Chains A and B, each alone.
Chain A
Amino acid sequence: MSGKRAVIAGIGHTEFSQNSGRSTMQLAAEASLASIRDAGFSPAEVDGTVTFSMDTNDELALIRSLGVPMLRFCARTRGGGGGASATVQLAAAAVESGQADAVLVYRAFNERSGHRFGQPVQANPDPAWNWASPFSLNTPAKVYSLTFQRYMYEFGLTNEDFGRYTVVARDWASTNPNAQFFERPITLQDHQDSRWIVEPILRKLDCCLESDGGVALLITTAERAADHGSDAVPILGSSAIQLEGGHEMFAYYHDDLCEYPEGRVLGEQLYRQAGITAADIDVAMIYENFSPIVFLQLEAFGFCGRGEASDFIKDGHIGRGGSLPTNTNGGLLGEGYIHGMNNIVEGVRQLRGTSSNQISGAEHVLVSAGRSGIILGR
Chain B
Amino acid sequence: MTTVRPPIFDFDDAFFWEGAKNHKLLIQQCGDCEVLRHPPTPICANCGSMNNQATESAGEGSILTWIISQHPTEPDAEPRIVILVQLDEGTRIVSNLIDVAPTHDQVLNDKRVEVCFVDYDGTVLPQFRLAEVQS
Binding between chains A and B: yes
- Give the interface of A toward B (CB within 8 A): 120, 123-124, 127-128, 130-138, 142, 145-147, 149-150, 153, 198-201, 244, 250, 252-253, 257
Partner of B45 from the list A124, A131, A199, A244 (CB cut-off 8 Å) is A244
Partner of B96 from the list A124, A127, A135 (CB cut-off 8 Å) is A135
Bound state CA distance, A200 and B67, in angstroms?
A: 9
Closest B residue to A153 by beta carbon equals B109
Given A149-B66, A153-B65, verify A134-B7 contact (CB < 8 Å). yes
Assess whether B7 is in contact with A124, with CB atoms less than 8 Å apart. yes
A212 → chain B closest CB, angstroms: 25
B67 → chain A closest CB, angstroms: 5
User: Which of B4, B7, B71, B109 counts the most chain A CB atoms within 10 A?
Assistant: B7
User: Which of B65, B67, B73 counts the most chain A CB atoms within 10 A?
Assistant: B67
Assess whether B7 is in contact with A138, with CB atoms less than 8 Å apart. no
B110 → chain A closest CB, angstroms: 9
Of B22-30, B53-61, B87-95, the one touching chain A: B87-95
Residues of chain B at interface, number, CB under 8 A: 33
Partner of B67 from the list A123, A134, A198, A244 (CB cut-off 8 Å) is A198
Bound state CA distance, A110 and B67, in angstroms?
A: 30
Give B1-32 as 1s and 0s: 1 = Cβ < 8 Å from A's Cβ atoms: 00011111010110000000000000000000
Give B91-127 as 1s and 0s: 1 = Cβ < 8 Å from A's Cβ atoms: 0111110000000100101000000000000010100
Bound state CA distance, A136 and B68, in angstroms?
A: 9
Assess whether B69 is in contact with A136, with CB atoms less than 8 Å apart. yes
Bound state CA distance, A124 and B12, in angstroms?
A: 15
B5 → chain A closest CB, angstroms: 5
Assess whether B73 is in contact with A136, with CB atoms less than 8 Å apart. yes
Q: Which residues of A contact B65 (CB under 8 A)?
A: 146-147, 149-150, 153, 257
User: Which of A124, A134, A136, A137 counts the most chain B CB atoms within 10 A?
Assistant: A136
Assess whether B64 is in contact with A130, with CB atoms less than 8 Å apart. no
- Give the interface of B toward A (CB within 8 A): 4-8, 10, 12-13, 39, 45, 64-73, 80, 82, 84, 92-96, 104, 107, 109, 123, 125
Partner of A146 from the list B5, B66, B123 (CB cut-off 8 Å) is B66
Q: Which residues of B contact A138 (CB under 8 A)?
A: 5, 69, 72-73
Q: Which residues of B contact A131 (CB under 8 A)?
A: 39, 93-94
Assess whether A150 is in contact with B64, with CB atoms less than 8 Å apart. yes
Closest A residue to B84 by beta carbon equals A252
8 new A-B contacts at CB < 8 Å, known A138-B73, A198-B67:
A120-B71, A124-B8, A131-B93, A134-B125, A135-B4, A137-B69, A153-B109, A198-B70
A176 → chain B closest CB, angstroms: 33
B116 → chain A closest CB, angstroms: 14
Closest A residue to B4 by beta carbon equals A134
Bound state CA distance, A200 and B6, in angstroms?
A: 27
A318 → chain B closest CB, angstroms: 26
